[in-house]
Amino acid sequence: MNALKSIVAVLLLGAAVALTVFIVSRTEAAIRRVTIEILRSIPRMFLVLETEKQISVATVDDGGWLLGPRSGQATATTRSHWGVDFQQVESKDVDVAGSDVRVRMPDPTLLDRALDYSTLRLITKRSGFQFARDLARGRSLERELLDMLASTPPEYTPDDIRARRMTFIDRLNRQAAALFHAKRLDVEFY
């Protein structure tokens, strides 16, 4: 009889442990899901964490001794908007321990880049032959320079990206707590 009671007690204890593990794992999965849903629901315009101004320069130096010079330079201020795309956050990026949640933040990306046309400066030099040639071909030196300014992205080193990432992590850890307060979660980005 004691052996039967021991077996039943062990079975009940095992069932209780299995039920506890199941409930905890379901709770962690639910917390991960809620965290990801909150992060993905943030409108993209609020993900801009830094705006950087730069001077962009485009140069054309064509032409030759036969038709004469065809050269130009364009400069303008460019605004680059850096931020974090939380659409990239997956379940594996979220660690849950009770109500403490750690989120691995994706690397910052260049969300948008725009020329400030009010700062645009163009300097061009063409011979009459080059001007006639451009007209015949339907080309515009000014349009070429503007296209170069607009299409040439700035170059950033991995160190630049890491520095921005650390800055963004710090800002998000200070400012994003309110997003999760209603769900009673303490979220930390790393």
How far is it, in rounded angstroms, from Cα 18 to Cα 175? 39
Closest C-alpha to 147, from 24, 56, 30: 56
Give the pLDDT confidence of 155-189 residue by residue, as tens digits.
888 898 888 899 889 988 888 777 787 788 888 99
Give the pLDDT confidence of 3-55 residue by residue, as tens digits.
777 776 666 666 666 656 555 556 888 888 888 888 888 776 557 778 889 89
Structure tokens at 166: 């650390």
pLDDT at 20: 60
Closest C-alpha to 35, from 98, 108, 102: 102
pLDDT at 183: 80
Taking residues 97-120, what's their average pLDDT? 89
pLDDT at 86: 86
Decide: 177 and 187 in contact? Cβ < 8 Å: yes
pLDDT at 143: 94
CA distances from 178 to 21, 165, 174 (A): 30, 21, 9
pLDDT at 17: 63
Residue 140 pLDDT > 70, yes or no? Answer: yes
Residue 74 pLDDT > 90, yes or no? Answer: yes
pLDDT band at 94 (very low <50, low <70, confident <90, very high): very high
Indicate the residue type of 142.
Answer: E
User: What is the pTM for the complete model shown?
Assistant: 0.62
Buried b (16+ CB within 10 A) or exposed e, 5-29: eeeeeeeeeeeeeeeeeeeeeeebe
Structure tokens at 163: 């520095």
How far is it, in rounded angstroms, from Cα 165 to Cα 154? 17
Q: Describe the strand order of the beta sheet including 48-64 as a list of residue ranges.
A: 48-64, 68-83, 109-126
